[in-house]
Amino acid sequence: MTTIELLNTLSVDQFTETLNEIFEHSPWIPRKTFPKTPFNSWESLYSALCATVDAAPESLQMDLIKAHPDLAGKLAVTN
């Protein structure tokens, strides 16, 4: 497991690759969150990742939901 201290030293590409799977293989989330480094805790990292999703255009949010059918429910099946 990576430490938060190590995560803070990574390049944008390494950071993105390391966190790629957290949000349904949506690398745009860690990539857009990277400028907020360094993080002082896992909680602050998670909050920043969630803020990135919240601030994203609706189209990107929908892509994220559709990538996880259990979250999207019937929407994923019909679209």
b/e per residue 34-51 (b: at least 16 CB within 10 A): beeeebeeeeebeebbee
Whether 25 is catalytic: no
Options 25, 44, 51, 68, the catalytic residue: 68
Cα–Cα separations (whole angstroms), residue 46 to 12, 17, 36: 17, 16, 12
Mind telling me the catalytic residues?
68
